[in-house]
């Protein structure tokens, strides 16, 4: 493919992504907000370049934005909402050998490239920050340069989230901690992993406001 053709195909891909994501909201204003959000992520974090290089990356963004659409029918509802993302991803997070990714647009197995990954940078918190929410990310990877509130914690330690006050979040997510290479190396015994999941599910109930929303919780799903 020559340079012109490849630029045109990447523009098409970007337009398609924006069209798909904006249609998750009915209101025209919300559609414009999400379009601006994707462009802001691109300007700040080279979203499109990373997308072109990593299989599964586009689906991660679709999945995160899809979860927001499921939880917040209007994007203005997100203004100043305190949202906790447990194991939010980081700039040093590692790739699993493969994983299954399900989005509002379908599901597929992803076998990532080896080495550095942009897949598990803290995308959900970044998206929320650009949308005017107050995301709080916790992870033990590197989050130092991130603009949102973040804490470096080891989620494998009981009571590690105790410093966050009771009922202080409007919404919470935990996603893909338990299958991550870091976590499975730290806890080789499945019973120990389950113990951590139980503690995280307990913390989520403690931290959520009475009318708060669980956006997505792998921990809670383990105890259904």
Ligand X SMILES: C[S@@+](CC[C@H](N)C(=O)[O-])C[C@H]1O[C@@H](n2cnc3c(N)ncnc32)[C@H](O)[C@@H]1O
Q: Which residues form the interface with ligand X (CB under 6 A)?
A: 60, 87-90, 93, 120, 139-141, 153-156, 175-177, 180, 182-183, 186
Phi-psi category of residue 86: left, alpha or beta, with phi > 0 → left and psi -120 to 50 → alpha = beta
Cβ burial of 144 (10 Å; 0-12, 13-18, 19+) is exposed
Q: Which two tokens stand for residue 211?
A: 């009318």
Cβ burial of 39 (10 Å; 0-12, 13-18, 19+) is middle
Q: Which is nearer to ligand X, 10 or 186 (CB)?
A: 186
Q: Which is nearer to ligand X, 24 or 197 (CB)?
A: 197
Q: Which is nearer to ligand X, 151 or 209 (CB)?
A: 151
d(CA 66, CA 58): 12
Among 181, 177, 210, 183, which Cα is nearest to 85's? 177
Q: Which is nearer to ligand X, 75 or 197 (CB)?
A: 197
Closest approach of Cβ 180 to ligand X, in Å? Answer: 4
Q: DSSP strand E in 157-207: where?
A: 169-174
Could you say which DSSP state residue 112 is in? Answer: P
* Helix (H) or strand (E) segment spanning residue 51: helix 47-53
Q: Which is nearer to ligand X, 25 or 183 (CB)?
A: 183
How many residues belong to the chain? 224
Closest approach of Cβ 102 to ligand X, in Å? Answer: 12
* Helix (H) or strand (E) segment spanning residue 87: none
Closest approach of Cβ 22 to ligand X, in Å? Answer: 22
Closest approach of Cβ 173 to ligand X, in Å? Answer: 7
CB 155 within 8 A of CB 201: no
Q: Which is nearer to ligand X, 33 or 215 (CB)?
A: 215
Closest approach of Cβ 109 to ligand X, in Å? Answer: 15
Closest approach of Cβ 1 to ligand X, in Å? Answer: 30
């Amino acid at each position: 493919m020559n340079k012109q053709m490849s630029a045109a195909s990447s523009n098409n891909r970007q337009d398609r992504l924006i069209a798909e994501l904006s249609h998750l909201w009915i209101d025209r204003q919300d559609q414009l907000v999400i379009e601006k959000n994707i462009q802001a992520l691109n300007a700040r974090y080279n979203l499109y370049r990373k997308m072109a290089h990593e299989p599964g990356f586009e689906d991660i963004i679709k999945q995160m934005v899809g979860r927001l659409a499921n939880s917040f029918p209007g994007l203005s509802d997100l203004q100043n909402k305190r949202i906790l993302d447990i194991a939010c991803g980081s700039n040093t997070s590692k790739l699993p050998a493969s994983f299954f990714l399900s989005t509002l647009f379908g599901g597929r197995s992803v076998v990532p490239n080896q080495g550095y990954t942009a897949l598990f940078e803290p995308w959900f918190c970044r998206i929320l920050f650009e949308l005017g929410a107050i995301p709080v990310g916790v992870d033990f990877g590197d989050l130092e340069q991130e603009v949102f509130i973040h804490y470096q914690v080891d989620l494998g330690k009981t009571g590690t989230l105790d410093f966050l006050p009771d009922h202080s979040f409007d919404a919470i997510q935990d996603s893909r901690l338990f299958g991550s290479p870091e976590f499975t190396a730290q806890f080789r015994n499945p019973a120990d992993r389950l113990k951590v999941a139980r503690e995280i599910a307990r913390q989520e109930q403690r931290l959520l406001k009475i009318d708060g929303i669980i956006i997505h919780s792998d921990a809670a799903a383990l105890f259904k």
